[in-house]
């Protein structure tokens, strides 16, 4: 009788384990879907050309990093000059990013490598004045939080213009 109950117990444990695994898989799938949604939101605020293929995940993150840097630099320059025109049309031309710069921003793959190496192709993390436009990501932030934070940063900067 004890043997049978042991087998029954083992079967129950196996079933419980299987059930937990299925639930964990489901949560993991959900988590990745959320992460992808955050990446999509981030893509949506990045400037792209109509015929551009969808940016890959790593391209999206690199592009966002460069884009934030470009916007930060633009703000800094505008602040330095204190010549921001009031008319909307003028503001647009004032903040026009040179095409050479856009090419670089729009083609992250042109400077792509398998590793994140900010020294080679990402903007310097500190400008001439020692200001750091880097995104403040505290230790312990999840991937989702980081992507979403980048997204919010871009929205914030874009609202400036």
Partner DNA sequence: TAGGCCATCTGGTCCT
Partner DNA sequence: AGGACCAGATGGCCTA
Stretch near DNA under the rule CB under 7 A, chosen from 27-35, 67-75, 93-101, 151-159: 27-35
14, 25, 125, 158: which one binds DNA (CB under 7 A): 25
145 vs 149, which CB is nearer to DNA?
Answer: 145
Q: Does 15 bind DNA (CB under 7 A)?
A: no
28, 52, 90, 92: which one binds DNA (CB under 7 A): 28
56, 97, 121, 135: which one binds DNA (CB under 7 A): 56
Terminal CA-CA length for the chain: 78
Q: Where do contacts with DNA occur on this chain (CB under 7 A)?
A: 20-21, 23-29, 31-33, 36, 56-59, 109, 112, 141-145
């Amino acid at each position: 009788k004890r043997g049978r109950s042991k087998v029954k117990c083992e079967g129950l444990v196996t079933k419980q384990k299987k059930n937990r695994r299925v639930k964990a898989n489901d949560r993991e799938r959900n988590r990745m879907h959320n992460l992808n949604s955050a990446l999509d939101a981030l893509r949506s605020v990045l400037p792209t050309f109509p015929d551009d293929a969808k940016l890959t995940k790593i391209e999206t993150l690199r592009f966002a990093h460069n884009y934030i840097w470009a916007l930060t630099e633009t703000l800094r320059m505008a602040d330095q000059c204190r010549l921001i025109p009031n008319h909307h049309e003028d503001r647009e031309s004032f903040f026009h990013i040179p095409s050479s710069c856009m090419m670089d921003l729009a083609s992250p793959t042109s400077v792509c490598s398998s590793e994140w190496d900010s020294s080679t192709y990402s903007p310097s993390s500190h400008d001439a004045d020692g200001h750091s436009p880097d995104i403040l990501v505290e230790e312990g932030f999840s991937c989702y939080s980081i992507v979403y934070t980048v997204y919010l940063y871009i929205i914030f900067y874009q609202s400036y213009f």
